[in-house]
């Protein structure tokens, strides 16, 4: 890649720092998409030695780039996202990938195709971590920042995805218990 191509791509990715998500931090500050992606990547790194026979380098790359399209579209919470929203985000991602030269275009494109297909263990683990991070962040944010529908959603969101690996399923169950404790305390 030329220096200009790198800087132009990074300029677009920088928008993830300003794109906020529905959830707040523990101190009530709206969380950015970049912060979410960073912590999903950190989660993958923490679990690297606990799940065997998967390519964690690939999972971490998936976690890093999974929300790149939101640099352009912004974040739409899963409970409000329509198929049209998802299709638009997919189109934006592939348009963004088309701005990259080879081999980056093919490499990023292949990762997005694999993530979208959800057929490999790596793609399933990335998706489970993505959803689980949202649950964990909600558990850390003040309860009065939640929408009423999230009281139930935070108990079930991503449970099916976490079933792809026993270690993830265990972690997701603990996050659900944390949700129940939070709701019980009303904090």
Q: What is the mean pLDDT of the chain?
A: 95
- What is the value of pTM for the model shown? 0.94
Is the domain defined by 3-185 classed in CATH 1.10.3210.10? Answer: yes
Grade residue 77 by pLDDT with cuts at 50, 70 and 90.
confident
Percentage above 90 pLDDT, the chain: 87
The answer, yes or no, to whether residue 65 has pLDDT greater than 90, is: yes
Q: What is the mean pLDDT of residues 43-72?
A: 96
The answer, yes or no, to whether residue 187 has pLDDT greater than 90, is: no
The answer, yes or no, to whether residue 1 has pLDDT greater than 90, is: no
Q: What is the mean pLDDT of residues 9-28?
A: 95
Grade residue 135 by pLDDT with cuts at 50, 70 and 90.
very high
pLDDT for residue 156: 96
Lowest-confidence segment of 87-91, 117-121, 172-176 by average pLDDT? 87-91
Radius of gyration of the chain (CA): 17
Instruction: List residues bridging with 24 in a β-sheet.
Output: 30
């Amino acid at each position: 890649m030329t220096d200009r191509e790198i800087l132009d791509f990074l300029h677009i990715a920088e928008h993830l720092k300003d794109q906020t998500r529905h959830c707040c931090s523990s101190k009530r500050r709206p969380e950015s998409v970049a912060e979410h992606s960073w912590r999903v990547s950190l989660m993958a790194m923490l679990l690297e030695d606990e799940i065997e026979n998967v390519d964690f380098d690939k999972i971490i790359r998936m976690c890093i780039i999974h929300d790149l399209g939101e640099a352009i579209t912004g974040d739409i919470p899963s409970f409000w996202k329509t198929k049209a929203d998802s299709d638009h985000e997919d189109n934006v991602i592939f348009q963004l990938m088309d701005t990259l030269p080879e081999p980056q275009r093919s490499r990023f494109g292949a990762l997005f195709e694999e993530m979208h297909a959800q057929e490999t263990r790596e793609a399933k683990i990335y998706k489970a971590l993505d959803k689980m991070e949202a649950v964990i962040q909600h558990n850390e944010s003040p309860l009065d920042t939640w929408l009423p529908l999230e009281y139930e959603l935070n108990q079930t969101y991503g449970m099916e995805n976490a079933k792809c690996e026993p270690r993830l399923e265990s972690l997701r169950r603990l996050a659900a218990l944390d949700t129940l404790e939070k709701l019980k305390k009303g904090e």
